[in-house]
A and B are shown apart, each in its own frame.
Chain A
Amino acid sequence: MRKTLLFLALLAGLSSIAQTREFQNVLRARARTTGGVIMKNNELGGYYSFYETDKVDGKNRAFRVALMDDNLGEAGEIRIVRPKNSILMECVFNGKAFLLFFLNDKNVEMETYDTNGKKLGSKVYEDVTKWERTRAMMAAKAGENGEVNQSIFPIGDGGFLKQSITKGETYGYQLTAYNNDLTVRWETDAPKSDMIEAVDVIEVTNDFIVGSMYKMKNRMTMPDFALAVLFDVKTGKKLWEKELTVDGQKMTVLNAFPAEGKDELVFTGEFFGPKDNIVKDKSKGLYAMRTGYDGVPTQTEFYSWEKDILPLVPADEKGKKELDRILFHKMVRLKSGSIYCIGEEYKKVMGATGGIQITTKNLVVLELGPDLKMKGCSVIPKSKQRTEFPMEYVQLSASVLAQLTKQMGFFDYEFTTQDKVGDRFFVTYVGFDRGKNESGDKVGSYIGTVIGDGKSKPTVDKYDVDAKDATFFRVLPAKAGYVAIYEYSKKLKRINFRLEKMAY
């Protein structure tokens, strides 16, 4: 009896030790979706922990969504009853309301809550397309960290934008703007055409939605070219779409920034030969392009792998300069106007068990000056990571396999954060070291962070993760200069979040 009381006391248990937060009595937690980031107006707002607390009936469970701010300060909680296999995919905050996006057994569902935890609206999509479910399920496997697999964006403090895939005769993008109570403000679908049009939202500003668009003949073919696309955020009207090409060279859009104080956008990405396939073939190099808000380019710079980038690559121990294919994860721009392109080397090789594998290697950071001229290249050595695919995948190109690897969350790169005032950026990855540290203990998994300030060469800090008692741990974005680590211990029924500052 007295033990029961102790158990009851633990129900209310929520520790508040400095820079850590612990949740007790967690009945079940999933590796990728138990904890995640709360995105607030395109920046990290805080964290959530979503876990089951009770059985309500045969089909439903009671869940708790614990909300924490970016300092891991307790912000509140939302208690909900949902189907037992619910997965919380995304939690987005726009300053006045939270939108929770759930993946259920047979449908997807959205719910909104105000800052007092009161439910504002709910929407179940029973007829969600197979593709949207597939996308959501893949995202659930990879985990959401505010950088990959983000499909919901705040629109000011009055609503949200959801990016999804339409059902109907043709497949294609669907953008829907919701008010905080989930009433639809506007909806824009891909137009009926012979081509499938897919849009990936890159940036939502007060005025525009900037995205990249791919057009394909059918679901089994690869897109031939990429386009930049701009929508009016107030009406959903497509303002323009432009194929980014110069002298017939095809270009993809990896990132887009609205240039502060100027009516222009900066696009960055990779470029290809006129006859190349942008998905299958290896790119010729990188580009950066300035355009007005009408999409008309005012400056374009190309950086060839061979001529412009390789000479800047530091030579290895044997004096060789080599670069494999690079998958670019993120591009950031500092106050000075310098742009840093963060990528990870990979190559396609035969697997040890007869399949095919993608081996990821070093991190690469390329620096472009404010004038968009190539200034430098840093290669950050890290351990190799191998992702094995069955033999049936052998016909897929290295680029396609790399994209699949990224979607599954198997690249070592985790996220990039930016200290906009301090003018620094932090690129975090998880590495594995088979060696021993100075104390003679095995290092194992470590968190590496590349720190750049635009003045000196980027430095690297490594943090030896001590998570021996954890069933699993994940690294989440944190305020600039920090990483957040959350660990789940099945044995202790406990989830622990902690902030660790990188040494710089």
Chain B
Amino acid sequence: MTPVITRLRMVPYIFAERVCPFLLLALLGLSSTMVFSQAPEVSSGCWAAWKGSAPAEEMLTSIRAQYAADLKGIKFNNYALQRAVVEDRKELQTDLLKSLEDEQFIFGTPLNALLDSVMDLLVGGNPEIVRPRLLLSWYPWPNASCRGEGTIVVDLGLMERIRTRSELAFVMAHELAHQQLDHVNSSIVQVNQHLLSKEFKAEVRATMRKEYNRVAELERLFVGFSVNERRHSRNHEIAADSLGLIFLLHTPFDPAAALSTMDMLDRCDNERDSLPIDAHWAFEYPGVAFDARWTGLRTVSSLAAVDTRDHVLEDSLKTHPDCMKRKRVLAAELSDTLPGNWAAESTAYEPYAHMSSYATIESAFRSDDAGRAIFLALQLLKSDPGNAYLNAALARGFATLSVCAAEHRLSHVLDQPTKRQARSYAQLLQALNDMRISDMGALADHYLSMARATDPRCEDTVYTTALLAYGRKNATDLDQAKSDYLSTFPDGRLTERIGELTLAPPAKH
């Protein structure tokens, strides 16, 4: 829930809006069956992973038109301030347009439908809200953001981690509050006013004239400025929590979800990251020289004892307040509300979370993180060992590692373990980094055969067959697999990648 830039103010507005009894009572009357539609299911066969989806041209056209109008509407008496604000707003606009053009968002899936239905209820319960443009991004971390120009972005990683629709509703209500309080745009103005102020300019100029300690002085100025700005940002978050809670109270969603959302955000890592993976189960197959070291985590960091960070400064530079502090504030506000007839929905969200988990595997592949994709697929495979997509994804992951290792590009697709990662993820990364190319190839073969046993025509299965043939420089098999893929999946999501698999000349690295 990170607004690009946020700003302190509007707290009085929040308290004025907190008690809206008529609207609240009207909404309490809604039954849960009216609110929640039937959740989709993920088959254990070959899951049709979503394509990146280019946005509709009409959408891009309308956004461009809106952006142009937005910029024209920016008026300040101070020309320098106007130019700076326009420049910053334009930068945000360009960034979103580029992300759309780069197909960083997901369209037309059940998750989009869910987001829309939740937004319908939020907007329906709070008529003062202007319905934003709602986008679902492929980004795998638990985040959502208000872009300040009428767009709210929810990241895939958030969809995977939350546990109820009410939690999702609270996150969206929080972002709507940022939009309603205009935190992004007012922060842009405030920051630029500070940067363009006579005092600040004079201070920077004086520093730049200095012969000695120039960098240290600039750093001091920057840190002072940042600490101040981040303090405002943290206050904005508290304000958005409060207003978001009010928005939530005007809907049938359970307001207590605001508290459980804070618990979820406090555990920043995915809970699954901590679930152990049995190395014997995952890696001990024919052709693999199994190494006993893969069963445990060695010291991740040789300098683990070293910690020279300035913790006080780090705390001052955080954009968000501590989640537990936010939870305390929300709990205090919730204690003032009447007990409500909130919708019971303890399990309704699960299929969406499950679907999001599958999609995060695809998200990892999209960002060339084969190590993460393998980890996520192994975690899901534990409960669904015959799943064609998961086996195919694993085969694809190991084949990617073996091809990249042979071309000295392993570092492009595989992270090193770090002390900040969850233990089981770090352990897996350590094992993958230890493996020989032949081990990776043998594991790709194993999981490919498992995938074929369930569904030989899975898109990832056919692609991985081509990838392995490419890695083994087998031109005949490569041509056959490519031809299979292109005939079976003429509009497949991996068409571009399979086109890159050409044996002569090999890609330069």
Please give, as numbers and ranges, the residues of chain A lying within 8 Å of B215 by CB-CB distance.
11, 25, 53-54, 62
- B437 close to chain A: CB less than 8 A: yes
Please give, as numbers and ranges, the residues of chain A lying within 8 Å of B418 by CB-CB distance.
71, 73
A54-B215, A75-B301 known; A504 vs B308 contact (CB < 8 Å): no
- A128 close to chain B: CB less than 8 A: no
- B256 close to chain A: CB less than 8 A: no
Instruction: Report the minimal beta-carbon distance from B295 to chain A, rounded to whole angstroms.
Output: 12
Among B195, B196, B410, B505, which residue has its beta carbon within 8 angstroms of that of A440? B505
Contact string, B378-420, partner A, CB cutoff 8 A, digits 1/0? 0000000000000000000000000001111011101111111
A4-B204, A73-B301, A73-B418 known; A422 vs B434 contact (CB < 8 Å): yes
CB pair A72 B416 closer than 8 Å: yes
Please give, as numbers and ranges, the residues of chain B lying within 8 Å of A69 by CB-CB distance.
301-304, 306, 419
Interface size for chain B: under 10, 10 to 19, 20 to 34, or 35 or more residues?
35 or more
**Once bound together, how far apart are the Cα atoms of A77 and B406, in whole Å?**
35
- A95 close to chain B: CB less than 8 A: yes
Among B195, B204, B306, B505, which residue has its beta carbon within 8 angstroms of that of A75? B306
Q: Kindly name the residue among A53, A96, A115, A440 whose own CB sees the greatest number of chain B CB atoms within 10 A.
A: A115
CB pair B506 A503 closer than 8 Å: no
Instruction: Report the minimal beta-carbon distance from A165 to chain B, rounded to whole angstroms.
Output: 31
CB pair B303 A5 closer than 8 Å: no
- B4 close to chain A: CB less than 8 A: no
- B436 close to chain A: CB less than 8 A: yes
- B62 close to chain A: CB less than 8 A: no
Please give, as numbers and ranges, the residues of chain A lying within 8 Å of B414 by CB-CB distance.
18-19
Contact string, B263-280, partner A, CB cutoff 8 A, digits 1/0? 000000000000000000
A56-B212, A439-B508 known; A463 vs B408 contact (CB < 8 Å): yes
CB pair A55 B213 closer than 8 Å: yes
CB pair B222 A503 closer than 8 Å: no
- B209 close to chain A: CB less than 8 A: no
CB pair A11 B222 closer than 8 Å: yes
Please give, as numbers and ranges, the residues of chain A lying within 8 Å of B437 by CB-CB distance.
503-504
Q: Which of A86-120 contact B (CB under 8 A)?
A: 93, 95-96, 115-117
CB pair A96 B509 closer than 8 Å: no
Interface size for chain A: under 10, 10 to 19, 20 to 34, or 35 or more residues?
35 or more
A1-B196, A1-B201, A18-B414 known; A93 vs B508 contact (CB < 8 Å): no
CB pair A96 B305 closer than 8 Å: yes
**Once bound together, how far apart are the Cα atoms of A40 and B306, in whole Å?**
13
Instruction: Report the minimal beta-carbon distance from A442 to chain B, rounded to whole angstroms.
Output: 11
Q: Which of B275-328 contact A (CB under 8 A)?
A: 291, 293, 300-309
Please give, as numbers and ranges, the residues of chain B lying within 8 Å of A54 by CB-CB distance.
212-216
Instruction: Report the minimal beta-carbon distance from B423 to chain A, rounded to whole angstroms.
Output: 15
- A20 close to chain B: CB less than 8 A: yes
CB pair B303 A38 closer than 8 Å: yes
- B180 close to chain A: CB less than 8 A: no
Chosen A-B contacts, 23 in total, with CB atoms closer than 8 Å, are: A19-B414, A40-B302, A46-B303, A54-B212, A54-B216, A55-B213, A56-B213, A62-B216, A71-B301, A73-B416, A73-B418, A73-B419, A75-B303, A77-B308, A93-B303, A438-B506, A439-B505, A499-B411, A500-B411, A501-B410, A502-B408, A504-B436, A504-B437
Interface residues of A (CB under 8 A from B): 1-2, 4-5, 7-9, 11-12, 18-20, 25, 38, 40, 44-46, 53-57, 62, 67-73, 75-78, 93, 95-96, 115-117, 421-422, 437-441, 463-464, 466, 481, 498-504
